[in-house]
Structure 1
Amino acid sequence: MKTDEQDSLKLFTVLTRAMQSVKTNVEFDIKKHGFNPTEFAVLELLYSKGDQTVQKIGQKVLIASSSITYVVDKLEKKEMIVRKPSPTDRRVTFVSITAKGTDWMDAVFPKHAAALSSIFSPLEANEKKALIEYLKRVGLHAEETTQ
């Protein structure tokens, strides 16, 4: 096996293990606040980007449309979000974060951001920026090669 292939295999293994460790740490942080990662992702999207259609939430949070309804139902029961019919298209439903959801995110999101900052603290700011660019490049290339 060539050195480049060996390095690529090693990189895949290291990246996968690092991602699993980061994911486990982030999920632990989110669960401390009483939500699962998908619910938190939906709240964070609505908190930072405003009203979204149910379909758009599924695309942004990367979950199946069948699961989105379940997550939206759970968050609605907790009074964190509310559904709103589109004024122009009866087939479209928007989802909005409620005042209760916004208040909760105002309290919790800074703690979550601090937890993420702690996870990535071994990296300097320039290293984080470089890693973001490298991973974007790899991700886009992988996406192109599977289409």
Structure 2
Amino acid sequence: MNGPKLESLTGGSGVHVFLVLWKAARAAQAYAEKSIYELEMCGSDFAVLEALLHKGPLPVNEIGKKVLLTSGSITVAVDRLETKGLVERRAHGTDRRARIVHLTKPGRKLITRVYAGHAADMERLASASLTRAERKTLISLLKKIGYEAATVSEPGEEDTSA
């Protein structure tokens, strides 16, 4: 009964790396979602507003790429935020078909406050478990594996920027 040897789930095998990464990502995502929820905002709304805060005005499809939402989901999120008066769509300067999403003053005020609270929560988590040097190493390693996975799964579509 000498069949192919199953890859170990310990000792640094590829499967072990994936399982540890997956479990850590799920736990960190749950922590982040709790932080955002406590700040009275859903995750997709937070992601859209945060992208606009840090990247400036963007077309809807670019926001979707940045925050990893499908075209349908990003449209619904932008519509919801526009209804709340937090963003507005404006005409593109050179492309009459395109609309650019901008933060409104109330939107900027809200996301600035909410982002500060969320950033403090994320800092508490990171500083409780990792030194500054460990964080830099972890970021570098995660980008490396993320880039490789994106290159293999979707050639030409990788965006591992954070």
Same fold (TM over 0.5): yes
How many correspondences in the alignment? 147
Distance in 1 of aligned mates of 2:36 and 2:65 = 21
Distance in 2 of aligned mates of 1:5 and 1:21 = 22
- TM-score normalised according to structure 1 size: 0.92
Q: Deviations over 1:14-39 (max 9, x none)?
A: 11111101000100111112211111
CA deviation after TM superposition for structure 1 residue 145, in Å: 2.1
Describe how 1:45-64 pairs up with structure 2 within 5 A: 45-64=51-70
Q: Which has the higher contact order (CA 8 A, sep 6+)?
A: 1
Residue 150 (structure 2) pairs with residue 139 (structure 1): no
- TM-score normalised according to structure 2 size: 0.84
Which of 126, 129, 132 is 2:133 aligned to? Answer: 126
Q: Deviations over 1:83-126 (max 9, x none)?
A: 10113212100000010011112222111101111121210001
Distance in 1 of aligned mates of 2:54 and 2:150 = 26
Distance in 1 of aligned mates of 2:36 and 2:25 = 16
Distance in 1 of aligned mates of 2:33 and 2:75 = 21
Distance in 2 of aligned mates of 1:62 and 1:106 = 21
Equivalent residue number for residue 40 of structure 1 = 46
Give, as a single letter, the amino acid of the residue that structure 2 aligns with 1:69. Answer: T
More helix by share: 1
Percent of aligned pairs with the same amino acid: 35
Equivalent residue number for residue 160 of structure 2 = none
The structure having more radius of gyration, on CA atoms, is: 2
Q: Deviations over 1:61-102 (max 9, x none)?
A: 111111111000100111111110113212100000010011
Which of 110, 113, 132 is 1:107 aligned to? Answer: 113
Per the alignment, in what secondary structure is the counterpart of residue 83 of structure 1?
A: strand
